[in-house]
Amino acid sequence: MLTVCNFRESHSQSRKCPTDRVFVNRSLSLDTIKYYGFDMDYTLAEYKTPYMEAETAKYAFDWLIELGYPKELAETKFLPDFAVRGLIFDKKQGNFLKLDLHGLVLTACRGTRKLSRREIRDEYPTKFCKLFEKTADGENRFLQLFDTLFDTPKIFVVSICIDWLEKSPNYAKTESGYFDNSTSSLITYSTLWSDVRHAFEMVHFKGPLHNNIMKQPELFINRNPNLPKLLEYLQNSDRQVFLLTNSPYKFTDVVMKYLLDDLTGKKWTDYFDYIIVKACKPRFFNEGTPFRHINKTTGAANIGTHQADVMIQGEVYSGGNCDMFCHLTGAEGPDILYFGDHIYGDVVRSKKTNGWKTFLVVPELKHDLEVWTSETKLFERHHQLERQLGELQAAPGLGQDRTVIRKLDQERKTIVDEIDARYNPYFGSTFRKGGRLSCFANQMDKYADVYASTINNIINYSLSHQFWSPPKLLPHEATVAQQPE
């Protein structure tokens, strides 16, 4: 008889190396998937970390210096182990926060200084942050979410600017930012974020970063020898393969040539049945943008919208929306498995709005698994302490055990901090703190059907494979033993 216990046990004893596995939130049969779609940046194209982030931050500092920020920012050394995905910037109080799924603060930094538990309590007495208070234009009034891999250098740049303001003798700290008495000017945390956001927009749209990647892609992108094998495997198995990226055609063309043409001699466009650039996700999954045909010689979009009843293999299109794409290709939501790294732009909107099956690419998972599998004693002691605390709290005569409870709880907190430091010395794991999942992990659990550290891992499974999700146990199921028959 298959019980909850042995079901979970069978899942935990997979013969595959953990870093080669695909992990399952919702059961998924590959036999029903007819269309395989891929994002490009950080999905098909694996950027070299931390070089890519360091270069992006360097160009952003250059733009900030042009805005009037100090020249010393140009000398900043990038901290590759600082930022993690899924952080929130509090535009009122100037802290980067890792929250749990309920909006409670798990970890916080002001600049690159980690705040103590006491400091967090002082700044957030209830430890609660209101996640969804928005202005008329849809912006979050006080909080800014950083949930993409492109966001990690933004977190670093904002934090370094706060470090400078904290140390500068010219600026006095106020409730909402920093005041310069010599010029009677106030830099609020919200203004600082606006300046940094503008700098990164300039880097990505008018700066030299894209040009440098196009000139020397080998400096920025890891060439994946398994990519041609994966795409040919899918096509040879009568699956339709499409590319859906927000990048413009000229940039996409250079990157995909480097990844495929230079490796195999076969044109990269031949690996895909359908190609859409400048998709403007997540808008693509709602109203979308005008659907145009791209002239591959000039890289420009044709004037007017594309009116044909089909999409031609090898041709390139821009914009459009999900409904139009499904109409032209005959695809339906449950037929599609889409691979992407962007939790909101690739996964949340495609799942919520259109019912696509989703594969989230999580490169951070490799390091997370290394810590998870190597720090067994720490994790076991943490679980043991939580069990002891639970038993003591439930026992009669609680008063006499208060001292013991406080001692055990202090040890538990110390171990949680030790575990956090193994993952990341500033923010800990992307996915949790102790026994509490982060907001990012909750989004991943809710909207990604499956996830892995790289798209390569799908090669380890047949296209008729059935992914089974482990059971989601409620507290009364996880903590109450079942009676044997």
Tell me the catalytic residues.
39, 41
Residue 121 CB-half CA count within 13 A:
3
Strand order of the β-sheet with 113-114 is: 113-114, 105-110, 95-99, 87-90, 143-146
Q: What is the DSSP letter of 115?
A: P
Amino acid at residue number 204: H
Q: Is-contact 155 145, C-beta < 8 A?
A: no
Collapsing DSSP to helix, strand or coil, 41 comes out as strand
Strands 35-38 vs 240-244: parallel, antiparallel or unpaired: parallel
* 185 phi, psi to nearest 5 deg: -120, 145
d(CA 203, CA 152): 14
* Consecutive H or E run containing 293: strand 289-293
> Residue 117, CB half-sphere, CA atoms under 13 Å: how many?
6
Beta strand extents in 58-110 (DSSP E only): 87-90, 95-99, 105-110
Instruction: Specify whether the CB–CB gap between 123 and 97 falls below 8 A.
Output: no
**Torsional class of 412: left (φ above 0), alpha (ψ -120 to 50), beta (otherwise):** alpha
CA dist 188 and 195 (Å) reads: 11
Q: Answer for the pair 244, 39: CB distance below 8 angstroms, yes or no.
A: yes
- Gap between the Cα atoms of 11 and 232, Å rounded: 30
Residues 6 or more apart from 267 whose CB is under 8 A from it? Answer: 260, 261, 314
* SS3 (DSSP) at 436: strand
Backbone CA torsion sign across 192, 197, 203, 206: negative
